[in-house]
Amino acid sequence: MRPKTRNRRIRLIAGVGATLVALTALSACGSSGAAGGKVKLSLGLFGNFGYTDLIKEYQAAHPDIEITERTAAYSDHHKNLAAHLATGAGAADVEAIDTGYVAQFKATPDKFVDLNTVGGDKLKDRWLAWKWAASLGKGGQQIGYGTDVGGLAICYRRDMFKTAGLPEDRDAVSALWPTWQAFFDTGKRFQEKAPQGVKFMDGGPTVLNAIVGQAPQGYYDQNDQVIVGSNPALRQGWDLVVDAVKANLSAGLLYSTPQWNTGFTQGQFATVTCPAWMMTKIKDQAPDTAGKWDVAAVPGGGGNWGGSYLTVPKQGKHTKEAAELAAWLTAPEQQAKVFTSKGLLPSAPSLYDDPKITGYTNPFFNNAPVGKVFTDAAKKLNPQYQGPKAGDVQTEFGNAMQRVEQGKQDGAAAWDQLVGDVAKIK
């Protein structure tokens, strides 16, 4: 039955009123041109990028900008970003992408603002040449500004080494392991007199990532073909780590899991493969261990694990302001602040000879000269080509090694399944 005319008129008036209220609200908090309004930008991150204080600084200098951080777990962050880009909604205004995933996302440059079109082409000399090139689409579109690079070292517990009768001094510790085999041999010595309940290393996957990062080729060849099954360097590294697991050197933990975080807190292991960003992880998880940790050279020399980019998805409402924020956060001045506050190694080579950087020591890590350690490592770094789903392949490596550590498979069976699993990744 049709409603009475008077009732329809009331509802029409109410609907118009609600629309006017909604339009008024939008004009009050929308674009930067709105009277008294602010541009609201969201920043999608994984882990601790060291941006909290920088965001405050940026907002103080730009009172018309309001920034919110959205942080998720590593894998969840990248899966969510892929879903948001596919559906055209839900992405943050600025999205971080790890080096292991950048090849996947740069394959669809149309989903991102080409930063070259908003001044990025004039900024490219800020970054290491390979860092800039790694985030370029096939048509030359620049989808992201580089944040940090990983570098590699070994972080170790001085107190636990002392208890086990090993040297504490970082130079003496570095001399213990010129190779990965020597590293594991040191682990066997450690385990003979280790503190109760403590293992030499956190987990096989973490060490394996470092070994993979030192190989001339990783998971992919230059034609984006997965070469896990045919790359002898990966199998050799796998077998080394499996032997270490068999020797009971591993706490059996998978990095970036709650159990791994607890391992830091409870002191369940004495060493962890340590790209520069790992120092913040350790400090965040185990703040009471200040002075007990130190930093030694990584076996084999050089290598890289990690590093990220800031991108600007096209679906955002304020892409101009988002691109300006990404450029500012990744400028050398801000990269220097992040390094001295959080330990993330800059990707700006102009900082590698800056005395404020090279002379920086970290009191949490027994005043280790981390500025020199990691900038020296960065200068020697030979970047490894990252294929489209390198991050997903890395996850499968971790899962496979976990099966070995949990006694579900032996090394050979886990490897065979791994090769099959990564072949299915598309």
- Residue of 108, 364, 370, 366 whose CA lies nearest to 356: 370
Q: Maximum distance among all alpha carbons in the chain?
A: 92
CA gap 210, 312 in Å, rounded: 30
* Sheet of strand 144-149, all strands in order from the earlier edge strand to the far edge: 65-72, 39-46, 94-98, 307-311, 144-149, 345-346
Q: What is the pLDDT of residue 378?
A: 81
* Sheet of strand 293-296, all strands in order from the earlier edge strand to the far edge: 199-201, 269-273, 154-157, 293-296
Q: What is the pLDDT of residue 36?
A: 55
CA gap 157, 155 in Å, rounded: 7
Contact 43, 68 (CB under 8 A): yes
User: In whole angstroms, what separates CA 206 from the centre of its chain?
Assistant: 13
pTM for the whole structure:
0.82
Q: What is the pLDDT of residue 19?
A: 37
Position of tokens 């050398």? 332
Q: What is the pLDDT of residue 22?
A: 37
Q: What is the mean pLDDT of each run of 10 residues along the chain (426 residues)?
A: 35 37 34 62 95 98 97 93 98 96 95 98 95 95 96 95 98 97 98 97 96 92 93 97 98 93 97 94 95 95 87 98 98 96 93 93 96 85 85 93 97 98 91
Residue 293 has φ and ψ, to the nearest 5°, of: -90, 155
Question: Phi-psi bin for 309: left (phi > 0), alpha (psi -120 to 50), beta?
Answer: beta
Residues 6+ apart with CB under 8 A from 334: 54, 328
Measured N-to-C along each axis, helices 232-246 and 390-405 cross at an angle, to the nearest 10 degrees, of 30
CA gap 359, 418 in Å, rounded: 43
CA gap 373, 100 in Å, rounded: 24
Cα angle 132, 284, 70 (rounded to 5 degrees) comes to 55
Contacts 24+ apart (CB under 8 A), 327-335: 327/115, 327/119, 327/120, 327/123, 327/145, 328/58, 329/51, 329/54, 329/58, 329/94, 329/145, 329/147, 330/126, 330/145, 330/146, 330/147, 331/126, 332/126, 334/54, 335/147, 335/148
The runs of H, that is alpha helices, within 66-225 are 74-87, 99-106, 129-134, 158-163, 170-176, 180-192, 204-214
DSSP 3-state of 328? helix
- Residue of 135, 101, 91, 85 whose CA lies nearest to 115: 135
Residues 6+ apart with CB under 8 A from 181: 240
Neighbours of 367 (CB within 10 A): 11
Question: Phi-psi bin for 163: left (phi > 0), alpha (psi -120 to 50), beta?
Answer: alpha
